[in-house]
Amino acid sequence: MIATLVAAQHEALAGLPVGTLPGSTKGAPLDPATLKRDATWRVALARILERIDVAGLPEPAQQARAALAAASADDLEAMADRFLGGDVKADQAAEMVFVAAALQVAWTRMAALLDAAALDPADAGQCPACGSPPVAGMIAPGGTKFGHRHLHCSLCATSWRYVRTRCVHCGSTDKISFRQFAGTSYLRAECCEACKGYSKVFYVESARTLEPLADDLGSLGLDVLVGEEGFSRVANPFVLGVMAAPDGNN
C-alpha cells in the first residue's frame, strides 16, 4: 500500500504549483509552525486521491480516500493542523496517511527551491529547511573511516549532516548505546540514556538499497524492541496515531 501511495506522491509532485515561498527568515524557513500554509498541499492531495491505484489499497484506506475526497477545505485544513502538530488520534490514522503524503509533496516541492547554502544546519537534530524531526539517519562512506551521518527529514525530504553517535533529540553525546537485531548489520537504534530518545541509523555499505522512509517503515520491529525498553521517538508520518507519540498522548 505504501508503494502505491508513494507512486501517487511522485505523480502529484510533477508540475505542482510552487506554493508561497517565505522571504528570508531566521531559523528553518519552511517551519510549518511559522510558515503561512497556502492551498498547494490540497492540490497535491486531490492529485494523490485521483491518481492512486485503488486496487492497491485495503478497504479502510479506500474508505479514507472517499471521505477525504468529499471533505471540505476547512476540514482538510484542520486535519493538516493536527498532523503538523503531532496530534493524531488512532481513529484518524487511515485518513492522516493521505494528509501526511500530500503535505510531504508540497513541502518537498518548496524545499527543492530553497538555496541550500542559505540554510543554517545549526548543529540541530531537526531539519534546517522545515524544523521537522528526521525519519532516520544514513551512514555512508566519507570523511573519517567511520563515514558521515545524514539525517533525512520526515516532511520535506531534505537531508543534512549530523554528528555520529549523538542524540538527535537532546544533542547529548553521553551514554549513547545501540540496539540491533541479531544478524542485522545495516540497521541500529541509537538510544540516549539522557532523554530516553532513540533514532534509527542505517548503514549504506551493509545493504544493497536503502530508502530512509521506506526502510524505517520496514523495520518497525526495532521500534517495538527499543520501545519496550522505554525509549521513544517521533513516529514515522505514516504511522502517526498508531505508533505511540513520545509524550504518550496516543
Binding marks (x or -) toward Zn ion, 89..128, rule CB under 5 A? --------------------------------------x-
5 in contact with Zn ion (CB under 5 A): no
168 in contact with Zn ion (CB under 5 A): no
150 in contact with Zn ion (CB under 5 A): no
68 in contact with Zn ion (CB under 5 A): no
Q: Which of 67, 90, 116, 170 binds Zn ion (CB under 5 A)?
A: 170
Give 179: exposed, middle or buried? Use CB within 10 Å, 0-12, 13-18, 19+: middle
Tell me which amino acid residue 46 is.
Answer: A
Query: Smallest distance from the beta carbon of 5 to Zn ion, in angstroms?
Result: 19
Query: Smallest distance from the beta carbon of 177 to Zn ion, in angstroms?
Result: 11
Q: Which of 158, 219, 232, 236 binds Zn ion (CB under 5 A)?
A: 158
Q: Which of 1, 2, 140, 194 binds Zn ion (CB under 5 A)?
A: 194
Closest CA to 135 of 157, 158, 117, 153: 153
Span interacting with Zn ion, options 12-20, 114-122, 142-150, 184-192, rule CB under 5 A: 184-192
Query: Smallest distance from the beta carbon of 79 to Zn ion, in angstroms?
Result: 20
| Residue 194 vs 207, nearer CB to Zn ion | 194
Closest CA to 27 of 152, 112, 151, 120: 120
Query: Smallest distance from the beta carbon of 106 to Zn ion, in angstroms?
Result: 12
Pairing of strands 134-140, 148-153: antiparallel
Q: Which of 5, 97, 138, 156 binds Zn ion (CB under 5 A)?
A: 156
Query: Smallest distance from the beta carbon of 62 to Zn ion, in angstroms?
Result: 30
Residues within the interface to Zn ion (CB under 5 A): 127, 129-130, 132, 153, 155-156, 158, 167, 169-170, 172, 192, 194-195, 197
